[in-house]
Chain A
Amino acid sequence: MAMMTGEQYEASLRKLNLQVYQFGKKVENVVDDPIIRPSMNAVKLTYELAHQPEYEDLMTATSHISGKKINRFTHIHQSTDDLVKKTKMGRLLGSLTGCCFQRCVGMDAMNALSIVTYDIDQKLGTEYNKRFLKYLAYVQENDLTCDGAMTDPKGDRSLPPHKQPDPDMFLHVVEEKEDGIVVRGAKAHQTGAVNSHEIIVMPTISMREADAEYAVSFALPADAEGITYIMGRQSCDTRKLEAGKIDRGNSLFGGHEALVVFDDVFVPWERVFMYKEFEFAGQLVENFASYHRQSYACKAGVGDVLIGATQTIAEYNGAAKASHVKDKIIEMNHLNETLFCGSVACACEGGKQPSGTYLVNTLLANVCKQNVTRFPYEIARLAQDIAGGLMVTLPSEDDFKSPEVGEWLTKYYKTCEGISTENRNRMLRLIENITLGTAAVGYLTESMHGAGSPQAQRIMISRQVNMAQKQKAAKQLCGIKEEE
């Protein structure tokens, strides 16, 4: 099986024995859980589109291992063209789901590991890359969804891992055995974790020798013994439990995050890709972060949805011809395309690493993500400006259906001739969903903190710009000689 269909993907998830908790209870049927299900639908779409001729050019690639056609989410980038297509795939999926489709994080983890395992081997004579490539072949052949797990809870942010009062605040090795290692800790904010077949763990920060037992990377089946998932809440999440679908906003798709706990979990050696090589932890973090910062092209896709919704609600409200509304929508588009520009640019300017994998231009990837921490908020603000206050004061779908008050609502919320009040409600709920409901988790706060908070990018930008070159250029133009 080189590529699963959507149905095969869903069936494969049903075979997993995940330990998932939500609202204090164990979730017995994860796939059909009404709160989790929309997020599964979004991942499922990544499988379905790979089989559709009008999307397959972005959704598939040719494996550099097997030569087979594979889902691009399992691909290791072999050119800048691959990197650009990854960016475009993200935008496409964002625009078709209106949410986080969760599968990019595993792709980014695998690409980063393809580089770093090779580099470790070159320096230390280990065999991590060989192990990793064997694992990658397994992922590609079975078309698996992988969670890329980097973010530790981190405890006291002022302390390195080995000085934390609770040593489990960063995931670490607690036992070394003949056939593998035992790890303990947790990974927070894990997007798409319970829709994944595999979980790929990486360290979360650069480390020194004293933190060696925390410098560990490995992959495990998502239902390995000792792994537990605790679902994060999302604003308005329980609307998914209601009978009607209008108040959900996005009636088809969604995202999810979970805290993943590793309670003394055994990892066989063949799935360990870094073990105490602390000096490579920082490189793995930076490479993964750069890939993942590129991945935020998806927000331009979600932005497409929000801009489309905003234009539509302006038309429904009879306000679309107002000059300030037109100008605000131009601004939304300007910001949205700027997000796309950053992701395309870092892909085009990427380069080949010693392993053969292509890595994005890391400076431009950080610039891209820095914009992502800001622009979706402004786009959302403009959307709310144009949508009007009704977006947050609109009565429920049940009230519109009420025999007692429904007629009043339909009468008083009528706008232009020929505009359906229900359609107007649907569009308002979609804008609400993206800007402050369940999808705002992905579109706003994830844009802020996902793949690293804003300051992380600013540090990387300051490190990577060639300031001396800029100073030299300035000095030359105003007649200052270097020796002065």
Chain B
Amino acid sequence: MVFVGLKYCGGCTPRYDRVEFVSRLKEKIAKHVRLVSYDDPRAEHVLVVVGCESACAETEPFKDKTVHLASQEEDLERMAETLIMLDNGNNT
């Protein structure tokens, strides 16, 4: 199990439901990844979920971490695979 920080953009004009996206993602990665607050010191990776391609979420505080960006619903499967790989990587 790995800890991944979660950061949203502010959601002014999102093209999809960001919270629903994360909810579905959590289900897919539940056995491998726990999403925690982005400032949780256990998180070396941060998932940044943005509502559109402007991707204006503040990421400066994560410059020492690995950032994974999701900006559309279609990113769900790819992101799930990426995050699960983090856990698999830890196990090997």
| Interface set of A (CB-CB < 8 Å, partner B) | 53-59, 81, 84-85, 88-89, 91-92, 95, 304, 340
Contact = CB atoms under 8 A, between A and B. Distances in A.
Contacts of A95: 12
Contacts of A59: 10
B18 A57 contact: no
A91 B13 contact: yes
B6 A58 contact: no
Nearest to B37: A53
Which 10 A-B pairs have CB atoms at the shortest separation, nearest pair first?
Answer: A58-B10, A88-B12, A57-B10, A54-B8, A92-B12, A91-B12, A57-B57, A57-B9, A54-B19, A53-B8
B45 interface: no
5 contacts: A54-B18, A58-B12, A91-B12, A92-B11, A95-B12
A340 B12 CA distance: 11
Contact of A57 (B8, B13, B19, B37): B8
B37 A55 contact: no
Contacts of A88: 10, 12-13, 56
Interface string B10-47: 11110000110000000000000000010000000000
Given A54-B19, A57-B57, A57-B58, A85 B37 contact: no
A56 B10 contact: yes
Interface in B26-84: 37, 56-58
Contacts of A304: 13
A85 B10 contact: yes
Contacts of A84: 56
B37 A92 contact: no
B6, B12, B13, B37 pick with most chain A CB within 10 angstroms: B12
B9, B10, B13, B18 pick with most chain A CB within 10 angstroms: B10
Nearest to A84: B56
A57 B12 CA distance: 10
Contact of A89 (B6, B10, B37): B10
Contact of A55 (B6, B10, B13): B10
A85 B56 contact: yes
Contacts of B9: 57-58
Contacts of B58: 57
A108 B73 CA distance: 36
A304 B9 CA distance: 19
